Structure 1
Amino acid sequence: MKAYIFPGQGSQFPGMGQDLYAQYPEAKRIFDLANEILGFSLTEIMFAGTEVDLKETKVTQPAIFLHSVAQAAIIPDFRPDMVAGHSLGEFSALVANKVLRFEDALQLVSKRALAMQAACEKEPSTMAAVLGLDDEIVARICAEISDEIVVPANYNCPGQLVISGSIKGVELACEKMKAAGAKRALVLPVGGAFHSPLMKPAEEELAQAIKATTFQKGICPVYQNVDAKPYSDPEQIKENLLKQLTAPVRWTQTVQNMIQDGAAEFIECGPGKVLQGLVKKINKEAVVSSVAV
């Protein structure tokens, strides 16, 4: 069984998608449609913008989503057996398995990006990568810091977990993680505390848009971030997608569950190879690849 996986924020790079646009008419159609829907030339920034340009939230999330969907669109006879996406990538996965129309998903991604940016501006916050410490220890240390907000945010692979919360909370947690034996506990250069309770304003803002959007029954299960389990029911998928903003991304558990359910090959659709690396760290026997362009 083939599992198609879709990356999240951080996978962007200058020039992303230019080869797809130049070589594949279907990809070009999707790129041009995205510019029309968004009301500005996203492709111009993707193709010719700098790293700084691409880090702007209203650009980053739609750009990665667009690249991922366009890459999936060029696969001949594309019919996945299962799909999953890391954070933002879950929207790409839902287009790939036909739960969401591209046009609807792009508008949701754009609204999500702006809502998350507004939440970041409302209260200064951050994230940190913790390396070489068991997940249980990281979660326990976060729970012990009761006077600040700090929570596990991304379970990326064994020994690599990202925490999220208030600046003071994350800094305090990093000190405690190092004292507990972490190889590294490094504050990340991000705009705010994604996948934490501090994203609650963004969740509330996005709720109405998600509820008003039509979700169809997909052609295959989507393994969702909130609990790493497969879903096909459109209403349940909606609910889980909304919870995703304040809940951790359980990527380790997602990959483990997909393998247990029969995934024989993981194919990453989108910019970069971040997820392929994580899959191999989760299960060194896993077969991973990119979409051939």
Structure 2
Amino acid sequence: MTPQSIVEPYAVLFPGQGAQFPGMAQRWHDEVPAVRKLFSEAEALAGLPLRELLLTMARDAQVRTDWTQPCVFVASLAGWIALRERLARTGTGQPAYLLGHSLGHFTALVASGAVDLDAGLRLVRQRGEIMHRSGQRSPGEMLTVVGLPADEIAAMLEGEHGRKVYVAAVNGPDQVVLSGDRPGIAWAEATALARGAARTVPLAIGIAAHSPLMAEAQTEFAAELANLVIHPPRTPVVLNTTARPSTDPSAIRADLQLHMLEPVRWWESIRSLRDTGVQRFVDVGPGRTLCKVLSRYLPPEELLANDRRGGLEVLAR
């Protein structure tokens, strides 16, 4: 599936933390001069050896929130730059919407022009450091539950007010990410499996993202947001906390102020875009994380991956 074949309205998706792997932006770095320029600029702005981290990504670096978040952010922007060059060469129209999952939301804001690169990278670096410190102070855990309806999981948690476990993201009608402390996640995993969940997948992240356990971190992050300049985006960005597209800087700021505390309404966002007429979703990479998540629920012809040589291709099941 080449870019020429995208004639319907489409949305571009940006992944979050967890998409990282060694060499995740190698091909774009080697083939696209603008990506090499991005790497140089980002490395100078971040004060991190981003080129080395992006192209090698040792195992211990992959679980460090303060390193992986800037790396996935820059790698996703590299994929966006490579995609734009392909679209320009083929005369394909621009996406109707941009949508990022958790960390990917910040990439979407920069890609849309709502936030400048230097401000976006600085914010992502600060976010990663704040979350890393939060995990050191109060370690948390995250768990993906697959095969149990989201409303059943919500009901399961509703009567457990004494347990520290919360819905962090709804990625599909039967795919939910939970955040909490170790006892809460252990209880939730055992209970979900007993209720018929197909499987559970622990996330190697060390924090309880998108939950009330991030309140102290969000307060610290809000101070960093105070001076952030937000422009009206050139392309509407779907907000994680509302699942609705917006071009309003005030709405974007309000979303960011709740970002660490509220769940990512991913599946609701996808459904909302499909209701507006979006018929294709392009996972800008790195990897095909979001395509793989959505492949349980959407026809393969609606999902395009940007990480393959030769152009966009329909995701093979």
Q: TM-score, with normalisation over the residues of structure 2?
A: 0.88
Kindly report which structure 2 residues correspond to 1:253-272, keeping only aligned pairs within 5 A, or say none: 253-272=268-287
Would the aligned equivalents of 2:19 and 2:72 in 1 still touch at CA under 8 Å? Answer: yes
Q: Alignment identity in percent? A: 31
Match of 2:41 in 1: 33
4+ residue segments displaced more than 6 Å: none
1:246 corresponds to which of 261, 268, 282 = 261
Would the aligned equivalents of 1:145 and 1:169 in 2 still touch at CA under 8 Å? Answer: no
User: Aligned AA for 2:61?
Assistant: D
Match of 1:24 in 2: 32
Would the aligned equivalents of 1:86 and 1:249 in 2 still touch at CA under 8 Å? Answer: yes
1:179–1:49 CA distance, 2 compared to 1 (3 A): closer
SS of 1:155 mapped into structure 2: strand
1:93 corresponds to which of 108, 113, 122 = 108
Q: Provide the aligned C-alpha RMSD in A.
A: 1.6
Q: Which runs of 5+ in 2 are unaligned?
A: 1-8, 310-317
More off after superposition, 52-61 vs 186-195: 186-195
Match of 1:214 in 2: 229
1:122 corresponds to which of 116, 129, 137 = 137
Would the aligned equivalents of 1:130 and 1:182 in 2 still touch at CA under 8 Å? Answer: yes
Kindly report which structure 2 residues correspond to 1:136-147, keeping only aligned pairs within 5 A, or say none: 136-147=151-162
Match of 1:72 in 2: 80
Q: Deviations over 1:198-238 (max 9, x none)?
A: 11112111112222111000112111111211111001101
Would the aligned equivalents of 1:84 and 1:90 in 2 still touch at CA under 8 Å? Answer: yes
1:111 corresponds to which of 89, 102, 126 = 126
1:227–1:286 CA distance, 2 compared to 1 (3 A): farther
SS of 2:48 mapped into structure 1: coil
Match of 2:196 in 1: 181
Would the aligned equivalents of 1:228 and 1:250 in 2 still touch at CA under 8 Å? Answer: yes
Q: Distance in 2 between matches of 1:283 and 1:186?
A: 21
1:53 corresponds to which of 49, 53, 61 = 61
What is the aligned residue count? 293
User: Aligned AA for 2:166?
Assistant: V
Q: Distance in 2 between matches of 1:70 and 1:184?
A: 33
Shift of residue 186, structure 1, vs aligned partner: 4.5
Shift of residue 124, structure 1, vs aligned partner: 2.2
User: Aligned AA for 2:71?
Assistant: A
